[in-house]
Amino acid sequence: MSRKRSGGPDPWSPLAPLYDLQLRLEKAALSSLASALEIHPEDRLLDVGTGTAGMLRTVAALPNRPAHAVGVDRSRRMLDQAPPLPDGWSLLQADATDLPLPDRSFDRASAAYLLHWLEPPERGRVLAELGRVLEPGGLLGVITISPPRVSTERVVRMPLEFAADRFGGVLGGLRSLDPSAEIEAAGFRLRRRTRTGRGYPSLCVVAERL
138-181 pLDDT tens trace:
999 999 998 656 544 444 444 444 434 544 454 455 689 999 99
**Does residue 184 lie in a domain region?**
yes
Indicate the Cα dihedral angle 138, 90, 120, 137, nearest 10°.
0
Q: What is the pTM of this model?
A: 0.86
**Does residue 7 lie in a domain region?**
no
What sign does the dihedral 101-170-52-27 (CA atoms) show?
A: negative
Among candidate residues 103, 121, 100, 123, the one with its CA nearest the CA of residue 111: 123
Among candidate residues 86, 183, 176, the one with its CA nearest the CA of residue 131: 183
pLDDT given for residue 175 in this prediction: 82
Radius of gyration of the chain (CA): 16
Tally of domains within the chain: 1
CATH number at residue 56: 3.40.50.150
**Does residue 3 lie in a domain region?**
no
195-205 pLDDT tens trace:
998 999 999 99
Residue 83 per-residue DSSP state: P
Residue 105 per-residue DSSP state: -
**Does residue 4 lie in a domain region?**
no
**Does residue 67 lie in a domain region?**
yes
**Does residue 104 lie in a domain region?**
yes
**Does residue 149 lie in a domain region?**
yes
Strands (E) located in the chain:
44-48, 68-73, 89-93, 106-112, 134-145, 188-196, 202-209
| Structural domain range at position 46 | 13-209
Distance, CA of 125 to CA of 129 (rounded, Å): 6
**Does residue 148 lie in a domain region?**
yes
30-49 pLDDT tens trace:
999 999 999 999 999 999 99
Q: Is the Cβ–Cβ distance between 27 and 95 less than 8 Å?
A: no
